[in-house]
Amino acid sequence: MGKDKIRRFNENLTFRCLVQPAFEEVFGIDHPMKGKWHEFFGNDNPIVLELGCGRGEYTVALAERNPDKNFIGVDIKGARMWRGAKTVTERGINNAGFLRTRIEFISSLFAEGEVSEIWITFPDPQMPKQRAKHRLTGPLFLARYAKILQEGGMINLKTDSQFLHEYTKDVIAQNALPVEVASNDIYGTGYADETLSVKTAYESKFLAQGMPITYLRFSLGGKTEFSYTEPEEE
């Protein structure tokens, strides 16, 4: 492990805004923070998650633009998350935090209805069929989100991957989920507003390569179970 990574891991331990549960604290059991995230922020404002937050650029930007909401970036990569946690600490941003854990464990960390909205920004599309269960908009993950989202809570997917965009649209259609927005190119169509125009380092790179950025906003329609059948190849 490089010295810089070790330094970041050590500094992570000093950030009040960063929670790092041990594996044994979340595997199959409820963590003490579950149902108490409003106490963590010291207010009753809505809680919004960014899943797979990476360096936390979107979490920080959303928090600065929406002081009436609380934002939590979730990722397992502590060395990347260090950047977001350090920015929040240095700027004194009180409505943003970070949670280092696997997304598979979120129902051990958040109570029913504790989360008002979810953002998924530029996740790995997990294109091989054998990786389908790892797609963050697949049935297994939607079932996890259903356990923590408020009724009518929205899920936002912003990605450069046309594959993941179309896959998610298929999952939505097969489960008859309500869709608010479906855009194949938010910048080319002029749809991107102040929030959608926030650009991570990955997004800037994709745009420089001429790749369109897609966006989906949908809810789970009160469902708790989801299914998906791969379309037959022609």
Q: Which of 124, 160, 170, 185 is catalytic?
A: 124
Tell me: pLDDT of 187 over 80: yes
Average pLDDT over residues 5-27: 90
pLDDT in tens, 58-93: 999 999 999 999 999 999 999 999 999 999 999 999
Q: List the structure tokens of 107.
A: 């129902």
Q: List the structure tokens of 54.
A: 């990476």
Tell me: pLDDT of 233 over 70: no
pLDDT in tens, 141-150: 999 999 999 9
124 is known as an active-site residue: yes
Q: What is the mean pLDDT of the chain?
A: 94
Tell me: pLDDT of 234 over 80: no
Average pLDDT over residues 95-123: 96
Instruction: Give the global pTM.
Output: 0.94
Contacts of 94 (CB under 8 A, 6+ apart): 41, 42
Give me the domains of the chain, ranges plus CATH numbers.
1-111 (3.40.50.150), 114-222 (3.40.50.150)
